[in-house]
Amino acid sequence: MKKLLFTSVSLLIAFTSFSQNNTTIEKTRAVFGELKGEGPYTRSDVILQDHISVSSADGNKYEVVSFRLIIAPKAGTAILLSSRNSSFSENIKQNLYTVVIGDKIIVEAIEATVNGDLKNRVSLEPIMLTIGDMRILDYSPYEAATYGKNNSKNNPPKAGEMPHATFGSIDASDAKTSYTLEDIIAQTEILTKNGGLTYKVTQFKMILAYKELPPMMMSTSGNQLSYQMKEAITKLKTGDRILIEGITATAEDNGETNKANLSPIIITIP
């Protein structure tokens, strides 16, 4: 009798577990951009995303209308950001650029409408991502303040001397900058602006993030776009994006070499 009872309880637990697992798979859930799997995801995976979407198998159409995003670094203070729609604001994107391996991203308080009805809303479970090791790109993670002689952190630039990278003559960090696809195709190099010294880019990575195709990743030494990069750019379409990261630059100062890791560049094809 005890054996029969034990077997029945075991079957019940197994069935309950199976049902719960099925519910987890089938239920409506929020998704960090296109990252629908379990991960782990790299920094490049994360910063290529630009919205929160909804995955569902119940036949309804969901649209995220608000969420909060928390960046929880391994060291330092967490950053709380929010949005009143499904898209990442420029502020959210800029803060996502700073994440490194081991940092966590939490998306919570996610609200979505059902079938376009503003009065019919659902609350979705939070998303949590941990930045993992670089699976595809083999360079060290970007650090927001790696400056100084011989790549040390002992001699940061003075106020007003912080260099930043530009896509040729296109300064994507300036919100007033406007450009066409023809302008983008015409660029041939990665340059630097500001900085008390004259910095020259020594290497960078380019990621082409297509709306309808998997991203393409390329790298080169120096500051010139390679032939492969130029050719790929000519095939971009409206909504595709160019991400330049892993940008290193050097400058000579009284016979010593100063090295800087520069912030990424993101350009969206108009």
Beta strands 164-167; 216-221: pairing state = unpaired
Identify the weakest region by mean pLDDT among 10-24, 86-100, 105-119, 165-179: 10-24
- H helix or E strand, kind and range, residue 261: strand 256-262
**Cross-strand bridge partners of residue 104:** 72, 130
Cβ(132)–Cβ(120) below 8 Å:
no
Is the confidence at residue 208, as pLDDT, over 80? yes
| pLDDT at res. 66 | 97
Structure confidence by residue, pLDDT tens digits, 7-21: 444 544 444 444 444
Identify the weakest region by mean pLDDT among 38-52, 124-138, 249-263: 124-138
| pLDDT at res. 47 | 81
Q: Give the mean model confidence (pLDDT) for residues 142-164.
A: 46
Is the confidence at residue 240, as pLDDT, over 70? yes
Is the confidence at residue 78, as pLDDT, over 80? yes
Cβ(164)–Cβ(264) below 8 Å:
no
Query: Helix, strand or coil for residue 31?
Result: strand
Confidence of residue 225 (pLDDT cuts 50, 70, 90): very high
| pLDDT at res. 46 | 85
| pLDDT at res. 96 | 85
| pLDDT at res. 165 | 92
Nearest to 142 by CA among 226, 44, 41: 44
Confidence of residue 216 (pLDDT cuts 50, 70, 90): confident
Q: Is 111 exposed, middle or buried (0-12, 13-18, 19+ CB in 10 A)?
A: middle
Q: Give the mean model confidence (pLDDT) for residues 15-29.
A: 54
Mean pLDDT of the chain, nearest integer: 79
Share of the chain above pLDDT 70, in %: 78
Beta strands 52-55; 29-32: pairing state = antiparallel
